Structure 1
Amino acid sequence: MELSFGFIINLVIGIYLFMDARKRNKSAILWGILGLIIGPLVLGIYFIQTGRKMIGWIIVILAIIWYIIAIVLGILGAIIGLL
């Protein structure tokens, strides 16, 4: 369930970036693919690039914190699995 939820979020972000990048004369295919693969981090960077700096930085910081938590929990799970 979680994997499909994350994929749906990345898909929505990718579609949004593709459509908004076309309106702003940016590379729509590049932003769409990056949004599909990386998701929230790319969305924050896109907002920063297009002048919406406050929301962009908030999204980038939250995405980095989320990735750090996921890595730490993954390492802890691997260590506990070895015990």
Structure 2
Amino acid sequence: MSGTISLLIAIAIAVYLAIDAPKHHKSRWLWAILGFLFGPIALGIYLIRTNRKVLGWIMTILFGLGYILLILLVILGAVFFSQL
């Protein structure tokens, strides 16, 4: 179920970027692919590049910290279970 929701979010971000990018003279395909692969981080960077800086920086920082926290939790879990 979680994978399905993540896939739908990635598709929604890609579609939004594909529709909005030409309005700002950006490459539709490039931003759609980046949005699908990197999700909210790519959306945040896109918002920064299209002069919607406040929302873009907030999204980039929050999701960047979230990804870093997730990586740290995985590493801590691996260390914990390797010591058992």
Q: How many residues align?
A: 83
Deviations along 1:25-45, one digit per CA (max 9) or x if unpaired, are 210000000000001011011
Deviation at 1:6, TM superposition (A): 1.5
1:65 aligns to what?
A: 65
Instruction: Give the aligned residue type for 2:11.
Output: L
Deviation at 1:80, TM superposition (A): 2.3
Instruction: Give the aligned residue type for 2:63.
Output: A
Task: Give structure 1 stretches of 5+ with no counterpart.
Answer: none
Percentage identity across paired residues of the two chains:
47
Q: Structure 1 residue 12 and structure 2 residue 25: aligned?
A: no
1:24 aligns to what?
A: 24
Runs of 4+ in 1 over 6 A off after TM superposition: none
Output the CA distance in 1 between the equivalents of 2:77 and 2:11.
Answer: 28
Output the CA distance in 1 between the equivalents of 2:57 and 2:20.
Answer: 18
Task: Give structure 2 stretches of 5+ with no counterpart.
Answer: none
TM-score, with normalisation over the residues of structure 2? 0.91
Deviation at 1:72, TM superposition (A): 0.8
Deviations along 1:25-80, one digit per CA (max 9) or x if unpaired, are 21000000000000101101100100000000000000111101110111122122
